[in-house]
Structure 1
Amino acid sequence: MNRSRIAPVVWLVGPSVLFMALLFGWPLIVGIGTAFTGDGLGRMVADPYFWPAVRNTLLLIVVLIPLQFALAVGMALLLRANPRFGGLYFYVWAIPLAVSDLAAGLVWLAVLTDRGYLNSVLAGLGLSPVPWLAFDNPVSLFVAVLVAELWRATALVLVIVVAGLQGIPKDYEEAAAVFGASPWQRLRHVVLPLLRPSLQVALILRTILAFQTFAVAQALTGQNFPLLVGETYRWYTVLQNPNVAAALAVVVLLVSMLTSVVYLRTLRAQS
C-alpha cells in the first residue's frame, strides 16, 4: 500500500488505538503485575473462602444461564405471536433492567428474610416460617441468589432475543408450515439457527456479567455464599490486600476470556 494512503489511516485509527491501549492495556498490565507480587497467588489459593467461591460461581453460572435463556426465548416467542397487551408484557418484563444489582438484592432480602413478605404470607396461611437465608443451609442460599439473579438479569437476554427475532421474516416459518413442519420443528430448524448470532452475543455478554455477580449475593447472604468477585472486594477493601484482590481479578478475567473463546468456537462450528 502506498505511504500516502497509509498516513491518513494511521492518523484516523492511531489515536483510538492509543486511547484504548492506555485505557485497558496499562491497567491490565499493572493488575497482572500486582497479582504476581507479594505472594498474592499463594494467599489466594490458601484462603478458605477461595475454592467455595469458585464452586459457587461456576455452579451459579451452570444453572443460571440455561434458565435465563429458556425463559427469555419463551417470552420472546410469546411476544412474537402478538398477544393482546403484548407491549405491556414487554415493558413489565423489562422493568428489572432499570434496577441496580444492590437494589435487586435488597428487594429480595425484604421478601426472603425471616420476617419478610414470603414468611408473612406463610404465617397468614397458618404455616411455619422458613429460614430461607439461614447460614447453615447452603441450598436455600443458592436458590435465593439464583432466583434474585434470574429475576434481575433475564430481561437483558430478553431484549437481545426480541431484537434478533425482529430481523427474522415470518415467511420462513410460514413456508416451513406449508411443508408440514410442526411448531417445534419450525423453532428448532428455522428460528433458532437464524437467531444464533443474537444468542451468541447474549450468551457471551450474560456469562461475563454472571461471573461479576456480587451485589445481589452480598445483600442476601453476606459472606455465607462467597463468590469470586465478592472475594475480590473483600480482599481489597476489608483486608486491605491489593495483591490477592488482583490475583482474584485475574482469575475472573481468564475464566471469562476462556469461556468466551469456547462459546465462539462452538457456535461457529455449529453454523
Structure 2
Amino acid sequence: MAEQTLSRPAATTGETRAAVPRLRRWVPYLLLAPSVVYLAVFFASPMLQAFGLAFTGTTGRFGLESIRAMLGDDWFWPSVLTTLLLLVVLLPVQFALAVGMGLVVNARLRGSGFWLYVFLLPLGVSELGAGIAWYSIFVQQGWLNTVLQGLGVIDTPVIWLDYRDPVRVVATIVLAEAWRSTSLILIILVSGMRAIPRDYLEAAEVFHAGPWQKLRYVLLPLLRPTIRTALIVRTVLAFEVFATVVALGGTGTDVLATQANRAYTEFQDAHLASAYGLVILVVSLAAVAVILVSLPVRRERGE
C-alpha cells in the first residue's frame, strides 16, 4: 500500500507532462479561432447570401434571371474592359515604382528612413480624398494646366478629363491610384528585401555584378514569394477601386465596382448588384490564379 501511495505522484507528474504536448498542439487553432469566427460571420455568411441573391430573380425563384439582366446591360462589357485595362496598366506601373522606392529604402543610405516615411504618406489619404485631390489637378482650370500655361508649354487649357476619351481618363485614374496605393506594395517588398541576408549581395559584388545584375539575378529571384504576395494583394484591391473612378471619371467611366453600386443604389436591385459582385469575385480569383501559376516558388517547381 505504501509503495502504491508513493508511486501515484510520479504517475500523475508523467501524465501531466504527456498532456502538455497535446495542449500545445491545440494552441495554434485556439489562436486562430477568433479570426475564423470573424471571417465566418462577417465575410463567409454575407458572401453566401450574395450568391443566393445573384442566382434568384426579383420573384424569388432560383434561376439565371439576374445573370441575364447583367449580361444584357449596355454598360457591362465596357465596365469589364475598363476594369481589366486599369489592372493591366496599373499593376506593372505600381510594381516598378515600388521596386525603385524599395531599393532606395533598402540601400541604408543617410536619410533612407526619411524617404520611407515620405513614401508611406499617401497611405494616410483615403481613396475619395485622393480622387478629389487629383481631380483638382486634372480639371480644366486645375493646377496642371496652370503650371503648363505658366511655363509656356500650352496656350489653352487641356481637357484632361474628357469623358469622350476614356483612355485619357483611365490614365488619370492610374496616376491617382499609383500615387495613393503603391506604398502598400512597397511595405511588402521592403520587408522581403530586409529578410535577404547581405551575404548574397556581397558575393555578387565579389564577382563584379552591377546594380542591374544584382537586381535581376539576386534580389528578384529571392523576392519571388514576396512579389507574389504583393501582386495578389494589389490585384484583389484593384478590383475594388471605386471612389477614385467616381471622382475622376464621373458617370462617363465605369468599372465593375461602380456598376455594382449603381445597380444597388439607382436601380435598387440587390439581385443585379450581387451578380456584379459575383463577377468581381470570379475575375479576382482568375487573376490570382494567373499570378500563382506565373510566379511559382522554388518548392512548387520541385527544385
Same fold per superposition (TM over 0.5): yes
Q: Distance in 1 between matches of 2:220 and 2:147?
A: 41
Alignment of 1:135-154 (within 5 A): 135-154=163-182
Matched, 1:133 2:152: no
Q: Distance in 1 between matches of 2:38 and 2:165?
A: 48
Change in CA separation of 1:57 and 1:169 when aligned onto 2, cut-off 3 Å: same
Q: Distance in 1 between matches of 2:148 and 2:213?
A: 43
Equivalent position SS for 2:178: helix
1:34 to 53, 62, 74: 53
Equivalent position SS for 1:268: coil
Matched, 1:115 2:141: yes
Change in CA separation of 1:136 and 1:16 when aligned onto 2, cut-off 3 Å: closer
Alpha-carbon offset, residue 172 of structure 1: 0.6
Q: 1:253 matched to which residue of 2? A: 281
Q: 1:25 matched to which residue of 2? A: 44
Preserved CA contact (<8 Å) 1:122 1:128: no
Spell out structure 1 runs of 4+ moving beyond 6 A: none
Preserved CA contact (<8 Å) 1:34 1:246: yes
Alpha-carbon offset, residue 233 of structure 1: 0.7
Which shows bigger deviation, 221-230 or 260-269? Answer: 260-269
2:293 to 258, 265, 268: 265
Matched, 1:185 2:204: no
2:86 to 60, 63, 66: 60
Q: Which amino acid aligns with 1:119?
A: N
Q: 2:256 matched to which residue of 1? A: 228
* Residues 231-268 of structure 1 deviation map (CA, whole Å, 9 limit, x = unaligned): 11111112111111000001101111222223223322
For structure 1, list consecutive stretches of 5 or more residues without a partner in the other structure.
none
Q: 2:226 matched to which residue of 1? A: 198
* Residues 62-92 of structure 1 deviation map (CA, whole Å, 9 limit, x = unaligned): 1110111111101111222233322222111
Equivalent position SS for 1:213: coil
Matched, 1:239 2:267: yes
Q: CA RMSD in A?
A: 2.2
Preserved CA contact (<8 Å) 2:225 2:297: no
Q: 1:44 matched to which residue of 2? A: 70
Q: Distance in 2 between matches of 1:43 and 1:257?
A: 23
Preserved CA contact (<8 Å) 2:224 2:297: no
Q: Which amino acid aligns with 2:275?
A: A
Q: Distance in 1 between matches of 2:198 and 2:241?
A: 37
Which shows bigger deviation, 108-117 or 21-30? Answer: 21-30
Equivalent position SS for 2:223: helix
For structure 2, list consecutive stretches of 5 or more residues without a partner in the other structure.
1-21, 58-64
Which shows bigger deviation, 176-185 or 247-256? Answer: 176-185
Q: Which amino acid aligns with 1:154?
A: T
Q: 2:202 matched to which residue of 1? A: 174
Q: Which amino acid aligns with 2:128?
A: L
Q: Distance in 2 between matches of 1:20 and 1:90?
A: 32
Q: Distance in 2 between matches of 1:169 and 1:200?
A: 20
Between the aligned residues of both structures, percent identity stands at 46
Return the index of the structure with the highest Cα Rg: 2
Preserved CA contact (<8 Å) 1:228 1:248: yes
Q: Distance in 2 between matches of 1:139 and 1:104?
A: 20
Matched, 1:160 2:188: yes
Aligned pairs, number: 267
Q: Which has the higher contact order (CA 8 A, sep 6+)?
A: 1
Q: Distance in 2 between matches of 1:34 and 1:93?
A: 42
* Residues 146-166 of structure 1 deviation map (CA, whole Å, 9 limit, x = unaligned): 111111111111111111111
Q: Distance in 2 between matches of 1:60 and 1:18?
A: 34
| TM-score of the pair, normalised by structure 1 | 0.91
Which shows bigger deviation, 13-22 or 217-226? Answer: 13-22
